[in-house]
Structure formats: C-alpha cells, structure tokens
Amino acid sequence: MARRSAVRQLLLVTFGILVTLYAGLLGMRVLWPIDFQDIVRDEAVNRLLPPDLVGAVIYAESRYRPDAVSSRGAVGLMQLMPTTAISIAESLGDPPPTTSDLANTRMNVRYGTWYLASLLTRFGNLDEALAAYNAGPTAVDRWRETGSEPFSETEAFVKRVLSARSIYAFYFRYPWIPRITPAIRL
C-alpha cells in the first residue's frame, strides 16, 4: 500500500514538473516567437551566418510576422526596404522584386541574409553590421567618420538582436521545442 502511494506521488510530481516545463516553453514562444526554422537555417547556412543571429534579427525586425510592413515601407520578416531588395536582386542576378514579392518568406530571408552577410563583410564588426542593417551603411560610415553616436533606435535594435541570440541559439540547438509548442501571437 505504501509503495503504491509513493509511486503515485512520484508520478504526480513528475507530471507537475513536465507541465511546468511545458508552460515555460509556451511562455518562451510568446515572448520570443519562432517560425520558418527550416528556411531560416537553410538561408543562414547558405550565407555562412549563424542561424541564431538570423533568427534574432528577424525577431528584432518583425517578431516573425511575414506580413509586417514598417511605417517607412520595410517589408516582411527581415524588414527589407524595396530599394535595398532591388539592389540585392541585381547583385544576385534576379529580376527586381515587387513589394508583394518581398512578403514571400523564402525570398525575404534569402535577401535579408545576403544583405546581412554583405554588411558583416563590409564592416568586419557585428555591432556595426547590425547598426547598418537597421540604419543603413551610409549612416554607419558617417558615425565612424565623425565619431558621433548612432541613433537611439539603432542602439536599441543592436541590443535587442544581441540579447535575443541566446534564445534563438536554444531554439536552433533544440529544433523540436518549437515543434511541440504552438505559435502564440500577442
């Protein structure tokens, strides 16, 4: 009788721990959403970028909303400006994309990773490359030349990306976690 009670108590405790862990994972998905993991990983690897960095940029730019459009006209997961996307398409030998093309997840992430990789090559520094991704390379060149401070929005963007990287590293290290938890949007 005592043995049965101990087994029952162990099962209840185990169940409670599992429920608590699952609730924590659900909370992560609310605070740090992730979708399109295969596309993000594929395009990151194609550009020799860490998937967690690309995932964190997407989080900071659009919170994984493929239909996101900024007040300035940046489109999609990686918030590409149409003029930037046209320049990227030209470099890749693609036809110029339309704004609706940029809502295509695969194209948006492909172009965004190409752009991020080119900025990393150009600036050789992750913080400056992220600042250029947010504010444009001309702004970063100007800040470098004059010694002036980046826009506060740009500083906040860089911090948001860098702080989110560990979460996205966790997601990409354990890809089954997003698969067992539903995407919950706020």
**pLDDT one-digit tens code per residue, 16-34:** 777 777 776 766 777 788 9
Q: With beta carbons less than 8 A apart as the criterion, state whether 64 and 36 touch.
A: yes
Q: How many domains would you assign to the chain?
A: 1
Q: Tell me which of 61, 128, 145, 149 is the catalytic residue.
A: 61
Q: Is residue 21 part of a domain?
A: no
pLDDT of 129 higher than 80: yes
**Per-residue confidence (pLDDT) for residue 120, from 0 to 100:** 98
Is residue 96 included in any domain, yes or no? yes
Query: What range does the domain containing 79 cover?
Result: 36-175
What is the structure's pLDDT at 145?
93
Q: Answer for the pair 96, 89: CB distance below 8 angstroms, yes or no.
A: yes
61 is catalytic: yes
pLDDT of residue 93: 96
Domain contains 9:
no
The model's pTM:
0.89
In a domain, 113, yes or no: yes
Between CA 159 and CA 173 the distance in angstroms is: 22
Identify whether 167 is part of a domain. Answer: yes
- Cα distances from 67 to residues 9, 62, 185, in angstroms, run 48, 9, 13
Q: How far is CA 27 from the centre of its chain?
A: 17
User: Which amino acid makes up residue 150?
Assistant: P
